[in-house]
Amino acid sequence: MMAQYAKIYVAALVGFLAIDMLWLGVLARGFYHRHLGFLFADQVNWWAAFSFYLLFVAGVLVFAVAPALQAGSLSRALLLGGLLGLLTYGTYDLTNLATVKSWPPVVTLVDMAWGTVLSAAVSGIGYLAGTWSR
């Protein structure tokens, strides 16, 4: 069972990294620079970034993929994953909107939508990896 979850975790992590890097590095790069460039560090703290990815994917497996595999339902994986993304990205973005001077509301809306879509997609990838690895 642990070996199966390790395979699912790796598949979900690779999917998360690929999709999010496409979003952050290509599709929405200009959007974030335009709205948040004044806050960007000169160098990315890769330790912190990868720690987030590792922890978040673990959360996706526990709170979305595992229950969906138990239920045998891809739609449950997508729904639970999307909800997890909305809650977690919403926590980050709404806290920033409430406490960070000049935090753009449009970033909050776009980022929460992105977190919802990304987490649903990664949950779907994890679910499919789980069904293929049985």
> For position 3, what pLDDT does the model report?
87
- How does pLDDT run across 47-103, given as a tens digit for each residue? 999 999 999 999 999 999 999 999 999 999 999 999 999 999 999 999 999 999 999
pLDDT at residue 2 is higher than 90: no
- What was the pLDDT predicted at 83? 98
Q: What angle do CA 121, 128, 84 make, to 5 degrees?
A: 35
In angstroms, the Cα distances linking 26 to 32, 37, 39, 75, 93 are: 11, 15, 19, 29, 21
How much of the chain is helix, strand and coil, in % rounded to 5? 85, 0, 15
Give the SS3 label for residue 37: helix
Residue 1 has pLDDT above 70, yes or no: yes
Q: For residue range 11-55, list pLDDT tens digits in order.
A: 999 999 999 999 999 999 999 999 999 999 999 999 999 999 999
Query: Which distant-in-sequence residues (6+ apart) come within 8 Å of 133 by Cβ?
Result: 4, 7, 8
